[in-house]
Structure 1
Amino acid sequence: MTATTASGHSRAGAIFRVTSGNFLEQFDFFLFGFYATQIAAVFFPASSEFASLMMTFAVFGAGFLMRPLGAVVLGAYIDEVGRRKGLIVTLSIMASGTILIVLVPGYESIGLLAPALVLVGRLLQGFSAGAELGGVSVYLAEIATPGNKGFFTSWQSASQQVAIIVAAALGYALNQWMAPAMIADWGWRIPFLVGCLIVPFIFLLRRNLEESEEYAARKHRPARAEVLRTLLQHWATVLAGMLMVALTTTAFYLITVYAPTFGKTVLHLSTADALLVTLLVGVSNFIWLPLGGALSDRIGRRPVLVAMTLLTLASAYPALTFLVNAPSFLHMLVVLLWLSFLYGLYNGAMIPALTEIMPVEVRVAGFSLAYSLATAVFGGFTPAISTFLIQYTADKAAPGYWMSFAALCALGATLFLYRRSRGQLQPALS
């Protein structure tokens, strides 16, 4: 085996080990969104299905409110102690939240303690995820070969799509094997249990993760207080980064986490059809994300980011209007595959761009904070906001307005952060 081949295998192994935690995070998040109606009935019974579902999505979104705190606390910790140790800590906290949700009895058994414990589980997951994405993305950027940072970092998001595919396939299988009443009673817990069972395997993978050479060679390791001061000094860059991430988080949670509920409750498609569409969207995302990263390596981040935001502004609401006017499995698949294309190319370029605009000494904390704020403000509450907009506007395509607003924010932030053409990064506040 040549040195080049060995190095390639080593990097491929590092990518697999570091993204395994991302798989677990998105696996659980998707399950919470897909089984929202069952979770609502078990933990959040209310006078109407709308009220019960809104409480469930509010708890789902509450986990995202913890992300900025996790980004600052755990992100600073990772910048101080290293990528390997920090990512093992985030995985431990994430696993604790997942196990808690699986084991909590329903409202009928323990009353208000049931939704309270589910909320605690979601808060733990959110706190951990606040630094998980940043830690993984920065690690991938630091081990990337020259000229391929976009392609390498795209595997952070690509690993999440594998989770969507596996979770959707598992849900589809359960829907075929079990009666709806049985799934609503206890069967919905089975996929969450599967997530718990793979935790030890992911721990073994993370234990063998090597520190990135770039971080290991760095002489200065900022203490957490210094990380916080640097973040405050670069607050405008973090804020602009948050707005740039807005389109990614909104689009992702719209076409994956919220899509099954949208298909069932709004379009009145079968559970099997909604799950199959979501599975195929996950496959589509997996294909477009690396292509978007590689394309941004070739022509620059800025052209890809600007083109995708403009296309989203022009097509998000019209596409959803077409879907709700003629709901069918085929139409839902076509529309979500189009939105998947927009999301995949945009996110493939956005992730490496976000690692590049942050000061190197606080790269994980800065990336994590910007990403977490975007997820808390935009993406995490996309299911709840979409449900609310549809209910109070009587427009089933109203989620398209929300996605268009996120695209407008992303376009403004991209133009603000990039001042030169040819994709050359020039933060306005460097």
Structure 2
Amino acid sequence: MTSARFPPAHAAARDVAPGTVAAPRLRAVVATVIGNALEWFDFAAYAFLAALIGRHFFPPGNEAVTLLSSFAVFGVGFVARPLGAIVFGRLGDRSGRKLALLIAMPLMGVGTLIVGLTPGYASIGIAAPILLVLGRVLQGFSAGGELGNAVAFLLEWAPPRRRALYSSLQQGSVILGTLLGSGSAALLSSVLSPADLESWGWRVPFLVGGLVIAPLGLFLRHKVEETPVYQGKAAPQDGCPPGGAPSPWRLGLQTIGLTSAWVVSYYVFLIYLPSFLPKHAQLSSAQALWASTAGLAAMMFSIPAWGWLSDRIGRRPPMLVASILCIVAPYPAFLLLVHSPSLAQVYLVAVAAGVLVGVFAGVGPATMSELFPTSLRTTGISVSFGLATAVLGGFAPFLSAWLIAATGSPLSPTFYVIAAALVSAFTAASLRETAHVDLA
């Protein structure tokens, strides 16, 4: 069965004997997963070590200003992502996914090493924060192009009936990297003295990322082959779809609508939760962090399971059910959290939220990838999902805190989740099923 909208892009690849692609497919999966884990390993490590980094790179004085400056530089990585999404997305569509991923990996490594090797403000003055910003810009620029190319690379290497499972590994590796980053920060804080941690210990995750993981990832990516789907695609069309096909703008808007509930629920339930619980649920910061960690772990383990299920029952049913659950579940969940919950109930909510968001992360990469033809896939995914993450997800913690301050109700963040879920439910219901249709 082939798509009615686009001509099949991998007709030539389908004649290849299955055994001849097993080894290249395995290399492609391993190389892509390591790259994503590196990206989020250092991303999370920076967040958890922000206070130490701020004291190192900024002039001494007001502790609050120093911490805000460190988090401002953290945010610079998000600012650079849309540009990276455009540049690397277009490169992946024009010249191949492998080339884009090969360039993105050393760029990420260089940015990571800049953060880990730059002397402090006491040694080189204003050059220290300038170099820190440069490192974060390189990391963000690389990360912006990594997602679309990584998802497309995994999807296009997958067997026809395993596309959601394979592409879900990109999101699974994101959560794995986040957990490894937070775990490394916690481990260093436990085994090093405060003086050693502040003087040199905080550099360890960045040096490991830049000197060990990045070269390993680059070596593995150099060994992989371009995807059979991309090799068999038609000539690039400069952003113009075939006659009768939906415009890239429409496909991009569908992707943003489809992923709205995904990014908002992730940032509200799993990223904002550690800040919400100590203030509104009478939990300590440590208890809140462990609850959030449990939710992230549940999400990571559930992602491939939902991808596997989607390959059997389709994309629309799980995406639609998850969107509906994000409409009906957030309010009672937050209601439970703010009315003197037990620690077990908090963990139950966090784990349930992780499993629910795991539906989107397990099924979403394949769903949005299959919307776009091969010649537009990495650009479409990178830009559309990048915008959804930056605008809807990135501001979710801020909007949650603002809603509580404006309304006086700790339940008000749930209305933001519900609004996003309504958009996603409508979008999912309107999409055609693509699970068992040839890639265009």
Give the TM-score range, shorter chain: 0.7 to 0.9
CA distance in 1, matches of 2:114, 2:246: 35
**2:367 matched residue in structure 1:** 353
**2:11 matched residue in structure 1:** none
Aligned CA distance change for structure 1 residues 108 and 274 (closer, same or farther; 3 Å): farther
**2:12 matched residue in structure 1:** none
**1:153 matched residue in structure 2:** 167
Residue of structure 2 aligned with 1:227, choices 239, 249, 252: 239
CA distance in 2, matches of 1:164, 1:216: 33
**Pairing 1:207–2:219 present:** no
Structure 1 contact 90–129 (Cα < 8 Å) conserved: yes
**2:182 matched residue in structure 1:** 168
**1:130 matched residue in structure 2:** 144
Larger Rg: 2
After superposition, the C-alpha distances for 1:46-104 in whole angstroms (9 at most, x for unaligned) are 8684x665555444333223222222211111112111111011112222222222234
Aligned CA distance change for structure 1 residues 36 and 359 (closer, same or farther; 3 Å): same
**1:72 matched residue in structure 2:** 86
**Pairing 1:236–2:234 present:** no
After superposition, the C-alpha distances for 1:271-296 in whole angstroms (9 at most, x for unaligned) are 65455444433331222111211222
Aligned CA distance change for structure 1 residues 22 and 215 (closer, same or farther; 3 Å): same
**Pairing 1:315–2:315 present:** no
Deviation of the 1:342 alpha carbon: 1.0
TM-score by length of 1: 0.83
**Pairing 1:63–2:77 present:** yes
Gaps of 5+ in 1: none
Aligned CA distance change for structure 1 residues 25 and 386 (closer, same or farther; 3 Å): farther
SS of structure 1 residue aligned to 2:329: helix
CA distance in 1, matches of 2:109, 2:399: 28
CA distance in 2, matches of 1:38, 1:262: 23
Aligned CA distance change for structure 1 residues 144 and 346 (closer, same or farther; 3 Å): same
Aligned CA distance change for structure 1 residues 70 and 347 (closer, same or farther; 3 Å): same
**1:403 matched residue in structure 2:** 417
Aligned CA distance change for structure 1 residues 102 and 401 (closer, same or farther; 3 Å): farther
CA distance in 1, matches of 2:191, 2:161: 48
After superposition, the C-alpha distances for 1:83-140 in whole angstroms (9 at most, x for unaligned) are 1111011112222222222234455665655444333322222221222111111111
User: Structure 1: which amino acid aligns with 2:360?
Assistant: Y
Residue of structure 1 aligned with 2:95, choices 81, 89, 94: 81
Q: Which range moved further: 339-348 or 230-239? A: 230-239
CA distance in 2, matches of 1:121, 1:22: 18
Correspondence 1:330-349 to 2 at 5 A: 330-349=344-363
Residue of structure 1 aligned with 2:379, choices 365, 368, 393: 365
Deviation of the 1:153 alpha carbon: 0.9
Structure 1 contact 165–280 (Cα < 8 Å) conserved: no
Structure 1 contact 245–370 (Cα < 8 Å) conserved: no
Structure 1 contact 302–424 (Cα < 8 Å) conserved: no
SS of structure 1 residue aligned to 2:239: helix
Structure 2 contact 85–379 (Cα < 8 Å) conserved: yes
Deviation of the 1:157 alpha carbon: 0.8
CA distance in 2, matches of 1:249, 1:273: 24
Q: CA RMSD in A?
A: 3.5
CA distance in 1, matches of 2:126, 2:408: 32
CA distance in 2, matches of 1:342, 1:171: 27
CA distance in 2, matches of 1:389, 1:52: 27
Deviation of the 1:43 alpha carbon: 5.0
Structure 2 contact 93–377 (Cα < 8 Å) conserved: yes
Structure 1 contact 137–351 (Cα < 8 Å) conserved: yes
Structure 1 contact 57–381 (Cα < 8 Å) conserved: no
**2:309 matched residue in structure 1:** 295
Residue of structure 1 aligned with 2:294, choices 260, 280, 302: 280
TM-score by length of 2: 0.81
After superposition, the C-alpha distances for 1:358-416 in whole angstroms (9 at most, x for unaligned) are 13211111111111111221223344444555566555555444433332332233234
CA distance in 2, matches of 1:389, 1:117: 36
CA distance in 1, matches of 2:116, 2:333: 37
After superposition, the C-alpha distances for 1:163-206 in whole angstroms (9 at most, x for unaligned) are 12322332332233235576466543333333223211111111
Residue of structure 2 aligned with 1:143, choices 145, 153, 157: 157
Deviation of the 1:355 alpha carbon: 0.7
Aligned CA distance change for structure 1 residues 180 and 316 (closer, same or farther; 3 Å): farther
Gaps of 5+ in 2: 1-16
